[in-house]
Amino acid sequence: MQGVGCSTREIDLRWRIAWNTARRYLKTPEPVKPKSRQSRGSKLDPYLENVDRRMAEWLETWEVLCRELQGLGYQ
């Protein structure tokens, strides 16, 4: 895109990346590889066993599951 006259601002708007990220990509001669990130997990992780069990029982609505999880301490 830069080769056809697009500015850094046009590139970052088109690709929806930060201006400084677009600038860094344009300065680097080789492709930039994204940094690997460690998984954070989920707020539901402590309750997955209950969720799996209830889904196996063909729970009819999410509202029921939500109330049950809130009763177990989910916020």
Query: Quick one: pLDDT at residue 54?
Result: 82
Q: What is the mean pLDDT of the chain?
A: 83
- Sign, CA torsion 7/11/14/17: negative
Is 2 a residue whose pLDDT tops 80?
no
Chain segment 16-37, per-residue pLDDT in tens: 888 888 888 888 878 777 788 8
Confidence (pLDDT) at 50: 86
Distance of CA 68 to the CA centre of its chain: 26
- The reported pLDDT for the residue numbered 56 is 84
Return d(Cα 1, Cα 75) in angstroms, integer.
Answer: 46
Task: Report the distance separating Cα 65 and Cα 52, nearest Å.
Answer: 11
Cβ 47 vs Cβ 72: under 8 Å: yes
Averaged over 34-49, what is the pLDDT? 86
The answer, as to whether pTM is greater than 0.75, is no
